[in-house]
Amino acid sequence: MFSKLQAAENRYEELTQKLTDPEVLGNTDEYRKVATEHSELEEIVNTYREYKENETNLTETRALLDETLEDDFREMAQAEFNDLKEKKAELEKQLKILITPKDPNDSKNVYVEIRGGAGGEEAALFGAVLFRMYSKYAEKQGWSTEVVDESETEIGGLKEIVFMIKGRGAYSRLKFESGVHRVQRVPATESQGRIHTSTATVAVLPETPDVEVNLDMNDCQIDTYRSGGAGGQHINKTDSAIRITHKPTGIVVTCQNQRSQLKNKEQAISMLKVKLYEKEKEEHDRLLSDDRKSQVGTGDRSERIRTYNYPQNRVTDHRIDLTLYKLGEILDGDLDEVIDALITVDQSAKLAAGSQGDF
């Protein structure tokens, strides 16, 4: 365990030196690569150094306690020793989490797909609420949002929408959002004030621009059409929107956010590769034993993961039995409390499933 931590510190020092190397500074790609790895190691190295400093202080305080001391001084030393032991336990826990193998996709941008489920028009309206929620969350994180494709309804709902969120760590924060989201509320069209239950599905896919997927364009049917919203709004005069159908798998992707047909085609192909990669990954994961899967889960689109109850101002995440009575704040993008809880449970499950060794 300590050998891994020491190796990380040595590598961090090596990268720190490289960041001042004129040859690295003069090579933009190399500098970006070195700076990224340096940044990824920074937290674990700083925590490890804090741990070592704490160990030194603990040894010195223990030595004091072994000496003959006056009662008042001994009491102070004992209190300090107890505090240092408590801090040691906290730092050990942090280090175990930090050295747990990370999802290689965690730092990537994401594609998010939201589709109306059960509930017709009300489900589409809920889809629009979820899109706003994730857009607000991305804004709070300093990330950017770009719509790739959307299908609106006449009264402002979204039958489906695909958008990209760009920002470092986007996938690490949003990957647990995949699944069925359920809403319980009185629809605007309900004259008798009855509560309806509707659903929308969310899928979060990491952008993998460098992914190697066996994609034969001969297996793809490419169609062009005029992009536009509900009722013919925003229709272009040219057939710039692209639809690609991957015939072997039946996967269909569309892109209409760019005015250029070529750019729409490039983005559609990129997204098709992501979906093919995800399909291969899901098939691989099914071969893994259950005890190697996270208790939280990421990607089962049929799983009901969360309920948004308007009458009770309540949001419940069913996977971790978390209930918060702050529906308005969450729908305004204040998702950190929910996401942090999901990450904590996932980390605990991984620590329990895969022993990292004792200090």
> 2-99 with 110-347: one CATH topology?
no
Which two tokens mark 2? 């300590």
CA distances from 20 to 17, 31, 42, 133 (A): 6, 10, 17, 42
Distance of alpha carbon 112 from alpha carbon 124, whole angstroms: 16
Residue entry with tokens 């190691």 = 41
Tens of pLDDT, residue by residue over 258-307, are 778 888 888 888 888 888 888 877 775 665 444 334 445 544 455 789 99
Give the domain ranges of the chain: 2-99, 110-347
Four-way CATH pick for 2-99: 2.40.128, 2.40.30, 1.20.58, 1.10.10: 1.20.58
Residue 192 CB contacts under 8 Å (≥ 6 apart), including other chains: none
Q: What is the mean pLDDT of residues 116-143?
A: 94
pLDDT for position 349: 80
Contact 139, 233 (CB under 8 A): no
Band of residue 211 on the pLDDT scale cut at 50, 70, 90: low
Band of residue 240 on the pLDDT scale cut at 50, 70, 90: confident
Which two tokens mark 34? 């070195």
Backbone angles phi and psi of 6, in degrees to 5: -65, -40
pLDDT greater than 70 at residue 323: yes
Tens of pLDDT, residue by residue over 60-88, are 999 988 886 788 888 888 999 999 999 99
Instruction: Decide: helix, strand or coil at residue 309.
Output: strand
Angle at Cα 311 formed by Cα 188 and Cα 327, nearest 5°? 100
Query: What is the fold of 110-347?
Result: Alpha-Beta Plaits (3.30.70)
Contact 318, 329 (CB under 8 A): no
Contact 197, 137 (CB under 8 A): no
pLDDT greater than 70 at residue 185: yes
Contact 44, 8 (CB under 8 A): yes
Residue entry with tokens 């924060």 = 173
Instruction: Decide: helix, strand or coil at residue 201.
Output: strand
**pTM for the whole structure:** 0.69
